[in-house]
Structure 1
Amino acid sequence: MYSIPTQPDPVSVVLRLKSIVPPTVRLWPPTVLLLGDTVAGIAFAGGLAGAVVHVPAGLSAMLPWLALLVGAGCARGVCALLAARVGADAARRTKRTLRAALVTDLLARAPGGHATTGTLLATCVDEVEATDGYVARFLPARATAGLAPLLVIAAAALASPIAAAILVVTLIPFLAAMILAGGAAADESRRQFGAMSRLSGLFADRIRALPILLAFGGEQREAERLARASEEVARRTMRVLRVAFLSSGALEFFAALSVALVAVYAGFNVLGLLPFPVPEKLDLARAFFVLALAPEFYLPMRRLAAAYHDKQAAQTAVERFPDALFAPSTAPVAQRAPETAPRITLTDVAIAYAGTDTPAIRDFSLDIAPGTIVAVLGPSGSGKSSLLHLLLGLAPLSAGRVTVDGVALGEGVTLAPASAWVGQTPLIITGTLRANIALAWPAATAREIEHAARRAGLGPMLAVRGLDAPIDARGGGLSGGEIRRIALARALLKPSTVLLLDEPTAHLDPVAEAALIETIRTACRGRTVIIATHSAALAAIADRTVSLEPHA
C-alpha cells in the first residue's frame, strides 16, 4: 500500500493538473462549441437589434431578423448542450484512466505504509471524481475565456469603438475580483476537501469493521465519531459557500456595472445628451447591438468563475495522488508464463518489510524441480506466507535471487501470470457462485466453471443452489470449507503451471480436511506446487518438505 504523500509545491501541482488528462482525450471540441456559442450570441444580438429597429416597418420587415434571432438562440442551446456532453465524456475517460493508474500503482506496491482501506478507497473514488468538473467544465471555459471576449470586442468595435473601450476598461476590476475571490476560495476549498476525504475514509473503514463494532458494542461511539466528522465537513462546506457567494456577488456587480455604463452611453448618445463630445453618433440599431453584446462579453469569464471551484477541487485532489502516478512512464516488462511446470530456485533470499527491524526470511535457499510438490512447514511468524507473497510480487526481495527456469525475477516481474493462488483468507465478492469462481479466469466458459467447481468438491452445493446462487461479500450462508473450496475452484479453473497454497486446510475439521486434501492432490498434477501449511496430513502429499524457523 502507499501512504498519502505530503503536499507538493505549487509548480508541481500545476504540472500534475496538466498531466491528468490522457493524450487520447481531446479538449478542443468543447472549446470550439463554446466559441460557437459566443458567435451565436453575437448573431443573437444582431437579430435582436434588427428586429427592434424594424418594428415600425411591420412584421414582414422583421421576419428575417426574427429568423436570425430564433436560429441563433437554437444554435446557442445546441452548442451549450453538446459542449456539456463532450466535456462530460472527456471527464469520464480521464477518470477511468486515472482510476486504472491508481489501482495499478496500488497493486504494484509492496505492503507497508499507513494508508487505511478507507483512505485508499476515497482516493480512488472521491478524489478521482473531483477531477470531473475540472476536465468537463473548467478547462474548456478557461480556453474559451481567452478567445471569446476578443470576438465580442471585435464585433462591438465595428458598431461602437467607444462602447468596446468601455467594456475593456471595466474588465480590469472584474479580473481583480476574480483573482481575489480565487485566492480566498483556494484555502477553504482545500480544507473542505481534506475534511471530506477523511470522512469518506473513516466511513468506509467503519463499514468494513461493522461486524466487530456490533460484537463489542462500539456502534454508538463510532456513530458519534462519524457525526463529529460530518459536522466538520458541514462547517467547512458552509465556509466555502460563503466565499463563493461573496465572490459571485462581486463578479455580478462589476458585470452589471459594465452593462449599465454601456447602456447609459448608448442611450445618451442616441438622444444626443452626452455632456462631452465623442467622435461617433450611434443610431438605434448600433445602440441596441452593443447593449445586447455587453452581457456576452462577460459570459465566458462568468462561466470560468463558476467553474473555478472545480479547478480548486481537482488541484486539492492531485496533491493527494501518489507521486508514481506522475512519474515518466516506462515500458512494462513483458512476462511470458511458462508453458510447462517450471523449476523454481531461490538462492540466499531475504524478505524485509519497510518499517520492521527483523526480516521475515533471511538467507533462505530452495531448489524446486519441475512438477514437484513442496510443503513449507514452520510456526506462525516463520515467513511461510511471505515466501509465497514474494513469488507473487506482494513481498519485497531484499537480498538474494529468485529464478524460474533460469530466468531471474526482478522489479515488476513475478510468477503471478503463471500461478494459481489460494490464500489463507479467500476473497469472496458480492455476486454469484459463478462470478466468484470466474474471478480467476474471466474468459472461462460456463462449462469450464462448473467443471472446476465439481473438481473442487462443490458438487453438493451445486446440486442444492446452482452456479447462480447469490453470495454476499461476507460469504453469508457458506461454511469455511465451502469458502476454501471456492478458492480452490478458482485455482483449478485458471490454466496455470504453478500452484501456490497458503494454509488451504486451516480451521477445517478432520473429515473436511481429508476431503479437501484429496482434491488438492488431484489439482497438483502437472504443476510445480508450494504449500505453506501447519498440517502434517497435507504435508504428507508433498514430494518434499522444508522447515522454516522464525528469526529473532
Structure 2
Amino acid sequence: MSTGQIDPRIARKLLEPVTGRPSKRASIGLLADSCGAILFAAGLAFTVNAIATEQMVFPWLLLMVASGVVRGLSAALALRAGAEDARRVKRSLRAKILITALSRLPGGTRTGGGWITAIIDEVEAIDGHVTRFLPARFAAVVAPLLVVGAAACASLFAALIMLGTLIPFVFAMILAGGAAADQSRKQFDALARLSDLFSDRLRALPVIIAFGAGEREAGHIENAATDVARRTMKVLRVAFLSSASLEFFAALSVALVAVYAGFNLLGLFPLPIPETLTLTEAMFVLALAPEFYAPMRRLAAAYHDRQAAETAITRLEPLLAEVERSPSPTASKAPAIALEGLTIHHEGSEQPAIAHFNLAIESGQSTALIGPSGCGKSSILHSLIGLAPREGVIRLNGTEIAPQADLSAMVGWAGQSTLIMPGTVADNIALARPDATRAEINAMAEKVGLGPMLSRRGGIHVELDPRGSGLSGGERRRVALARALLKNAPLLLLDEPTAHLDPESEAQIIALLRETLAGHTVILATHSPALAAICDQIVDLQGVRS
C-alpha cells in the first residue's frame, strides 16, 4: 500500500464524509458550549461584584447554573452527533473494503491479517477523526473568536493578550503535528506486519508444531509485538509534547491576563493605558481567559485522531479507489466470453500459471478445460471472478471489461474448496440466493444427491459448524454445486465438480449437469473424461503455461 499523500480528487469523491465538513449538530453543540462559557463568566463576574457591593446574588447564581446545564447538554449533543456520523462512515468504508477483500485476497498484496487490520483497525482509526476532530477543528476557529469578542467588550488589552499567546502556540502545534503523522504512519505499518505474521503463523500452526518450531515462531511474534509497543510509545511521546505545549501557552495566557487585570484594578500598571477596569470587567476577562484555549484543548486532544485517520485513509484509499473503478458487469442471458492473451502470474511464483491464453466461448456454449494438475485450469476460472491477478483482455458479449472488474454478480460458482458457514444445510445452499424458497432448496439438494445424507442427519435444517460437521469431501462438492445451480446464473464456473465422488455418484452429477447446461454459458475444469465429454468444446491446457 502506498504511504504517500492522499490524491485529493479521489479522497473528495470516496471519503467525503471523512474529509468533508463536520456534522452541523456537532458544530452547533461545541459553539453552544462556548456561548455557555461566556454566560458562566458573566454570571461569575456579576456574582463577585454583587457580593462585594452587598447586592442580590441569586439571579447571577441562577445564570451560572443555567449556563452549566447548557454546556453539559451542548457537549453531549456534539459527542452524540459526531458518534452517529462516525458509525455511518465506518459502516460504509468497511462494506467497501470487504468487497475488495473478498475479491482480491488470494492474489492481492495483503494477506488475511493485513485485510483484518484494514477492516478493523484502520477503519476504526477514523472514528476519532469524525467524532471529535472535525467538530473540534471548526470550533477551534470560530469559538475563540467568540470568546475574544466577548472579552474585548470588557477589556481590549486582555483580548490582545489572548491573541498574542496564540501565535507561538500555533507554530508549536504545526511542528508536533508533523512528527505525530510520521510516527502514526510507522505505528500502523508495524501493526499490519504483526497482524500478517500472527495470521500466517496461526494458519500454519499444525506444521509449526510438527517440526518443533513453536519457540522460534513465538520469538518472531514477540519481536513484532515489541516493535508495535515501541512505536506506540513514540506516538504517545509526541502526543504528550503537543499537550504540554498547549498547557504552557494556555497557562501563560491566563497568567498574563490575571497580572494585567490585577495591576489595572490596583492602579499599579507600569505603563500608561487608555482603559480602567471595574471589578466586574476584571473578573469577566479573568474567567474567560481559560475558555479562550478550551476549544484548542479539545482540538489538541483530538489531533492524534486526525493523524491516525490521515494515515489510515492513505492506506485505505487504494482499496476504495479500486472498488470505485471496478463495477461488476452483469448479464441477463448466457453471455459470450472471449479471453485474449490471458496471462496469470501469482505473486511469489517465478513462472506464470498460464501465459498468452486465448479462448472464445459462444453464448450458451459449454467448455471443458482439461490437463494435468498445475496447468492453470483453476487459475482461468479464478481470473473470471477476480480471485487471480491477470493480464490480457476479457470480453463479455464483445465488450472489454476492466482489469480489476469481476463477473461474480452473474456467475454460479462451485470451487474446489467449499466454504461452509455456521448454520443449516439450507442456509449454506441458499448462500448465493437468500430469497430461495424451502421447496427450491429441497429440490436442489435432492438433485445433487444430498438426499441420503439429509435423511440420515435429520433433513435440510440440520446444523453445520464451520468445519462442516462431518461432511465428506464429496458432500461438500455437492453443497457447492447446489449453490451454483440454485443461483440460476447465466454463467456457470465449475472447478472439478465431480472430484472425490465414486463412479456412481459421478454419473449422477454428470447426468444432472447434462440437463442443466442448456441455457447457460459454462466453463468447467475437470480431470474426468466422462464429464468433459458432455461439453460443446474441450480445451487441453497441457503446454499452454509457457
Compute the TM-score of the two structures, normalised by the length of structure 2: 0.87
- Give 3-state SS (helix, strand or coil) of 1:529's partner: strand
Contact preservation (8 Å) 1:337, 1:417: no
Separation of aligned partners in 2, 1:183 and 1:528: 56
Partner of 1:384: 377
State the 1:395 CA deviation. Answer: 5.2
Check 1:109–1:320 CA distance in 2 against 1; reply closer, same or farther (3 A cut). same
Counterpart-to-counterpart distance in 2, 1:294 and 1:461: 78
> Counterpart of 1:75?
70
**Shift, 1:293, TM fit:** 0.7
Q: CA deviation at 1:307?
A: 0.9
Alignment counterpart, residue 223 of structure 2, candidates 228, 245, 250 = 228
Would the aligned equivalents of 1:37 and 1:75 in 2 still touch at CA under 8 Å?
yes
Question: Which runs of structure 2 are paired with 1:111-126 in the superposition (5 Å)?
Answer: 112-126=107-121
Deviation at 1:162, TM superposition (A): 1.5
Which amino acid in structure 2 is aligned with residue 499 of structure 1?
L
- Paired with 2:323 and 2:191, the residues of 1 have a C-alpha distance of 30
Q: CA deviation at 1:150?
A: 0.5
> Is the CA contact 2:346–2:352 (under 8 Å) kept in the aligned structure 1?
no
1:443 to 435, 441, 445: 435
Q: What is the alpha-carbon distance in structure 2 between the residues aligned to residue 495 and residue 511 of structure 1?
A: 25
Measured after TM superposition, the shift of residue 497 of structure 1 is 2.9
The answer for the alignment partner of 1:37 in structure 2 is 33
Amino acid at match of 2:145: L
- Contact 2:162-2:289 within 8 A present in 1 as well: yes
1:240 and 1:270, CA in 2 relative to 1: closer, same or farther beyond 3 A?
A: same
1:422-441 superposed Cα distances (whole Å, 9 cap, x missing partner): 01112223444333222211
Between 1:302-311 and 1:389-398, the stretch displaced more is: 389-398
Contact 2:105–2:112 at 8 Å: present in 1 too?
no
Distance 1:367 1:19, change over 3 A: closer
Query: Which secondary structure does the structure 1 equivalent of 2:539 belong to?
Result: strand
- Asked if the contact 1:374/1:543 (under 8 Å) is kept, the reply is yes
Would the aligned equivalents of 1:19 and 1:326 in 2 still touch at CA under 8 Å? Answer: no
Give matches, 1:348-427, under 5 Å. Answer: 350-353=342-345, 358=352, 360-362=354-356, 364-368=358-362, 370=364, 372-394=365-387, 398-399=391-392, 402-404=395-397, 407-411=398-402, 415-427=407-419
Q: Secondary structure at the match of 1:546?
A: strand
The 1:267–1:488 alpha-carbon spacing in structure 2 relative to 1, beyond 3 Å, is: same
Cα distance, 1:215 vs structure 2: 4.6
Q: CA deviation at 1:130?
A: 1.5
Q: CA deviation at 1:317?
A: 1.7
Distance apart, 1:329 and its partner CA: 5.9
Q: Percent identity?
A: 51
The answer to whether the aligner puts 1:546 opposite 2:539 as a matched pair is: yes
> 1:22 maps to what in 2?
16
Q: Which moved more, 1:135-144 or 1:103-112?
A: 103-112
| 1:268-347 equivalences in 2 (<5 Å) | 268-323=263-318, 325-326=320-321, 332=327, 335-338=330-333, 341-342=334-335, 344=336, 346=338
Task: Give the residue type in structure 2 aligned to 1:350.
Answer: L
Q: CA separation in 2, counterparts of 1:471 and 1:216?
A: 32
Q: Is the 8 A contact 1:26 1:90 kept in 2?
A: no
Partner of residue 53, structure 1: 49
Distance between the aligned counterparts of 2:123 and 2:92, measured in 1? 10
Select 1:492's aligned residue among 477, 485, 488.
Answer: 485
In structure 1, how many angstroms separate the alpha carbons of the residues matched to 2:72 and 2:498?
65
Structure 1 residues 163-202: aligned runs within 5 Å: 163-202=158-197
Aligned residue pairs: how many? 539
SS at match of 2:316: coil
8 A Cα contact 2:327 2:405, kept in partner: no
State the shift of 1:135 in Å. Answer: 1.9
* Alignment match of 1:209 (pick from 184, 187, 204): 204
- Code of the residue aligned with 1:158 in structure 2: it is C
Answer yes or no: is the 8 Å Cα contact 1:269–1:282 preserved in 2.
yes
The range that moved more, 445-454 or 373-382, is 445-454
Query: Equivalents in 2 of 1:182, 1:403: separation in Å?
Result: 50
Q: Is the 8 A contact 1:126 1:197 kept in 2?
A: no
- Structure 1 counterpart SS, 2:57: helix
Q: Which residue of 2 aligns with 1:128?
A: 123
Give the superposition deviation at 1:188.
Answer: 2.4
1:145 aligns with 2:140: yes
Q: Distance in 2 between matches of 1:400 and 1:243?
A: 50
The answer to whether structure 1 residue 459 and structure 2 residue 451 are counterparts is: yes
1:89-118 deviation digits (Å, cap 9, x = unpaired): 222222233333334455666974533222
- Contact 1:21 1:135 survives alignment (8 Å): no
Deviation, structure 1 residue 465: 4.7
1:157 corresponds in structure 2 to: 152
> How far apart, CA to CA, are the structure 1 residues paired with 2:390 and 2:230?
47
Helix, strand or coil for the counterpart of 1:501?
strand
SS of the aligned residue for 1:350 comes to: strand
Give the structure-1-normalised TM-score.
0.86
C-alpha distance in structure 2 between counterparts of 1:520 and 1:328, whole Å: 34
1:98 equivalenced with 2:90 (yes/no): no
The structural deviation recorded for 1:445 is: 3.5
Gaps of 5+ in 2: none
Residues 420/107 of structure 1: CA separation in 2 closer, same or farther (3 Å cut): same
| Kept after mapping to 2: 8 A contact 1:381/1:550 | no
Which of 456, 460, 464 is the aligned partner of 1:471?
Answer: 464
